[in-house]
Structure 1
Amino acid sequence: MSTRDVILGRVRRALADVGQDDTPYKRAVDRGYLPEHGDRSVEQTVDLLAENLADYRAIVHRCEADGLAALIAGLLAERGSTSVAVPPGLDEEWLAATDVTRVADRSESTPHELDQVDSVITACAVAIAETGTIVLDGGPDQGRRRITLVPDHHICVVRVPDQVVSSVPQALPRLDPTRPLTWISGPSATSDIELDRVEGVHGPRTLEVVLVNDRTVSGN
């Protein structure tokens, strides 16, 4: 008999006199919480996202779709990047204005190889305004999780307003829980017992988020 069998046997004995709960799972927990806090227009929701991203020390940029390539080229040049990790499904037009060396997202890439890459650029699955959170789901334009955890500089493009929601409850239906979800609120950071903040311990030290207008931001 294994230790697991012993523990499970004890659990079963402890629960022997506990009646069966026939309450359906969907009714077991009160889920009457608000889907969002406040009544904001689309533009106000995007502004809140930008504010909360900046509060988490992400660097936020805004541009129109026709200016995205130039902005990305400028960010890479300002950073001094000579190489950038690129997911297989990333829009090639995003890098049309730069000649920085592209490093393909490959399953064979080792952490050491990725550590030599200066920057990574991805899209996202959804962005949450109330929490200042960017969610990646490993889609073709986001790539494997590793490429956003090892390089020290991450540029993440958010399509506004289609990929922006107010709250976590609004974001969850857009996500597939079977996919490798990465929730990002600012650059990687931690602190020791004396609350000294250290960035870049388990992810990029610098997160730049580009809010690109795919269409006019207006309405509710």
Structure 2
Amino acid sequence: MTDARTEILARVREALAGSAVEPAPPSVPRDLAPVATPEVVDLFAERVADYRAVVERCAAAELQDRVAAALPAGQVVVPPGLSVHVPDAIVDDGTLTAAEMDRIAAVVTEARVGIAETGTIVLDHAPDQGRRAISLVPDTHICIVREDQVVADVPDAFGVLDPARPQTWISGPSATSDIELDRVEGVHGPRTLHVMVVAANP
């Protein structure tokens, strides 16, 4: 007398007999994200603004001046690989302590990818983005996202991101609510998120 397990497995084998195994889909090389359409970039800017972030769109030639104008008073820290010159900024070499970073007014970083559907910015902490701490401790985060880094949705983002790298996903400034649902910003991250969306063409 066969037990139920043996009978079930026999039926599964019978059902699978003769069925062809479909080959796995070819892997998509990283860095080959679908080209963002103007509509996708518009949606990204709209969704980021929905999170109470400041969104500013500019041409590449304007970027340095726009970043300078957006900086609050006080000291600024930048990652070592930032492509934009920020006068008098501290270049983070990994030795700044949390207490020292807490006295810094702003950080300027670039991003790895922007997701239009969710209004999310992802950092993978390459040299133009720096270590995670500098993007979380200063009160203002100015983040540069280029139009050709914007993808439509989360699956497209996963096609670009390297799972072996550390990642920080940012959807608006840091915010939380107390028991009465009063919104409080800046408790566990930057109080102000200022996103520069840079046009692909100069």
| TM score, norm. by length of structure 1 | 0.74
Please provide the CA RMSD for this pair.
Answer: 2.2
Q: Does structure 1 residue 83 correspond to structure 2 residue 75? A: yes
Measured in 2, the distance between the counterparts of 1:67 and 1:215 equals 12
SS in 2 for 1:207: strand
Per the TM alignment, residue 50 of structure 1 is displaced from its structure 2 partner at its CA by 0.7
Q: Does structure 1 residue 152 correspond to structure 2 residue 139? A: yes
Q: Does structure 1 residue 116 correspond to structure 2 residue 103? A: yes
SS in 2 for 1:147: helix
SS in 1 for 2:117: coil
| TM score, norm. by length of structure 2 | 0.80
Cα deviation code 1:30-73 (max 9, x no counterpart): xxxxxxxxxxx711101100110010011000000000011111
Q: Does structure 1 residue 164 correspond to structure 2 residue 159? A: no
SS in 2 for 1:157: strand
Per the TM alignment, residue 145 of structure 1 is displaced from its structure 2 partner at its CA by 0.2
Measured in 2, the distance between the counterparts of 1:132 and 1:192 equals 24
Which AA in structure 2 matches 1:88? Answer: P
Unaligned runs of 5+ in 1: 1-16, 21-26, 28-40
User: Which residue is 1:127 aligned to?
Assistant: 114
Measured in 1, the distance between the counterparts of 2:65 and 2:54 equals 17
Measured in 1, the distance between the counterparts of 2:146 and 2:50 equals 20
SS in 1 for 2:155: helix
Unaligned runs of 5+ in 2: 10-21, 23-35
User: Which residue is 1:191 aligned to?
Assistant: 177
Measured in 2, the distance between the counterparts of 1:85 and 1:174 equals 27
User: Which residue is 1:72 aligned to?
Assistant: 67
Measured in 1, the distance between the counterparts of 2:197 and 2:95 equals 32
Cα deviation code 1:6-32 (max 9, x no counterpart): xxxxxxxxxxx9x99xxxxxx9xxxxx
Per the TM alignment, residue 85 of structure 1 is displaced from its structure 2 partner at its CA by 0.9
SS in 1 for 2:166: coil
Per the TM alignment, residue 104 of structure 1 is displaced from its structure 2 partner at its CA by 1.9
Greater radius of gyration (CA): 2
Measured in 2, the distance between the counterparts of 1:125 and 1:56 equals 19
User: Which residue is 2:19 aligned to?
Assistant: none
Percent of paired sites with the same residue:
56
Measured in 2, the distance between the counterparts of 1:115 and 1:106 equals 16
SS in 1 for 2:89: strand
Per mean C-alpha deviation after superposition, the further-off stretch among 207-216 and 162-171 is 207-216
User: Which residue is 2:13 aligned to?
Assistant: none
User: Which residue is 1:174 aligned to?
Assistant: 160
Cα deviation code 1:150-173 (max 9, x no counterpart): 00000000011x100010000001
Picking from 107, 110, 125, the partner of 1:138 is 125
Q: Does structure 1 residue 45 correspond to structure 2 residue 32? A: no
Measured in 1, the distance between the counterparts of 2:90 and 2:141 equals 14
| Runs of 4+ residues over 2 Å off in structure 1 | none
